C-alpha cells in the first residue's frame, strides 16, 4: 500500500519524461520527496519502467495494465510483467486510456492477486462510487474537462472532491481517495487535502515545468501545509 498523503506524478507520454529524461526526472522527484519527507511515486512509460524502478527508491507504478494473464496476447500489457519490472502497482482507467467497468474490476482483481496496488481513475462522483465496490486501493477523481488546464479541481469544483471522498468511502471505508485534474501548485494540493483527499495525481505541472524541481518542491510544500 502506498503511504498517504501522497503525490503521484504521471509521466504520460511526454517527451520531457521519455528515456533518460524520465529517469532523471524520477531522480528529481525522489530527491524532493526525501528532502521534504513527503510520500511520492512516479508512473513512467512502460518502456522506461524497469530502468526507473532500478535507480530510485520510491514507489513506481505502471501507467496501465490489461486484464489478462500470461499467454498469446501480442501487444497487451501483462500485470505480471509490470511487477517483474519493479512496479508496485498500476494506474487503471485513466481518462486517456479508458476501460469498461467490467475490465476495471478484472484489472483490480488481478493486481490484488499479484500483491500490487491499484489506483483507479474516475471522472466523476458516480464512477467513484461504482469502482469503489471493486475495492481498489486508491481512487483518483479527475474530471476530464479540467485535466491539463491549470484550473485545479480542488478550487474550481471543490464539491467534486468532497463528494467523491464521501461516496467512495460509503462503498468502501478503506479506500483512499486522491484527486487530479488541473492541480498545478502547492496551494491546489493543500486545498485538496483539506477537502478530504489523501493525495494528488499530477502530470504536466511537474513534467513540463521549466524547473521540475522547483515545481515539485512547491507541490510537496502544499502537502506539508495541509
Q: Which residues are identified as catalytic?
A: 94, 142
Reading the block at residue 29, the C-alpha cell is 522527484
Name the strand (E) or helix (H) holding 155: helix 153-156
Reading the block at residue 207, the C-alpha cell is 513534467
Nearest one of 56, 34, 31, 35 to 43, comparing CA atoms? 56
Please work out, in degrees rounded to the nearest 5, the angle formed at the alpha carbon of residue 16 by the alpha carbons of 124 and 191.
Answer: 40
Q: Give CA–CA dist 66/59, Å, rounded.
A: 20
Nearest one of 149, 215, 141 to 179, comparing CA atoms? 141
Task: Write the DSSP assignment of 78-97 as a string of letters.
Answer: -HHHHHHHT-SEEEES-TTS
Burial class from Cβ neighbours inside 10 Å (0-12, 13-18, 19+) for residue 1 reads exposed
Name the strand (E) or helix (H) holding 103: helix 101-113
Q: Give CA–CA dist 107/135, Å, rounded.
A: 11
Nearest one of 90, 79, 160, 151 to 127, comparing CA atoms? 160
Amino acid at each position: 500500500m502506498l503511504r498517504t498523503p501522497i503525490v503521484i506524478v504521471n509521466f504520460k507520454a511526454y517527451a520531457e519524461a521519455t528515456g533518460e529524461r524520465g529517469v532523471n526526472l524520477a531522480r528529481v522527484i525522489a530527491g524532493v520527496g526525501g528532502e521534504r519527507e513527503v510520500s511520492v511515486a512516479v508512473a513512467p512509460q512502460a518502456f522506461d519502467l524497469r530502468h526507473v524502478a532500478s535507480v530510485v527508491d520510491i514507489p513506481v507504478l505502471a501507467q496501465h495494465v490489461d486484464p489478462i494473464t500470461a499467454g498469446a496476447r501480442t501487444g497487451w500489457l501483462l500485470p505480471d510483467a509490470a511487477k517483474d519490472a519493479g512496479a508496485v502497482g498500476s494506474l487503471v482507467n485513466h481518462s486517456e486510456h479508458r476501460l469498461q467497468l467490467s475490465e476495471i474490476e478484472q484489472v483490480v482483481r488481478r493486481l490484488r492477486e499479484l500483491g500490487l496496488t491499484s489506483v483507479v481513475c474516475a471522472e466523476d462522483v458516480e464512477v467513484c462510487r461504482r469502482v469503489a465496490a471493486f475495492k481498489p486501493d486508491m481512487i483518483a477523481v479527475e474530471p476530464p474537462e479540467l485535466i491539463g488546464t491549470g484550473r485545479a479541481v480542488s478550487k474550481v469544483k471543490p464539491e467534486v472532491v468532497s463528494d467523491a471522498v464521501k461516496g467512495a468511502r460509503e462503498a468502501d471505508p478503506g479506500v483512499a481517495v486522491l484527486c487530479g485534474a488541473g492541480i498545478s501548485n502547492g496551494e491546489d494540493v493543500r486545498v485538496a487535502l483539506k477537502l478530504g483527499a489523501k493525495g494528488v495525481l499530477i502530470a504536466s505541472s511537474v513534467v513540463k515545468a521549466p524547473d521540475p524541481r522547483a515545481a515539485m518542491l512547491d507541490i510537496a510544500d502544499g502537502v506539508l501545509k495541509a
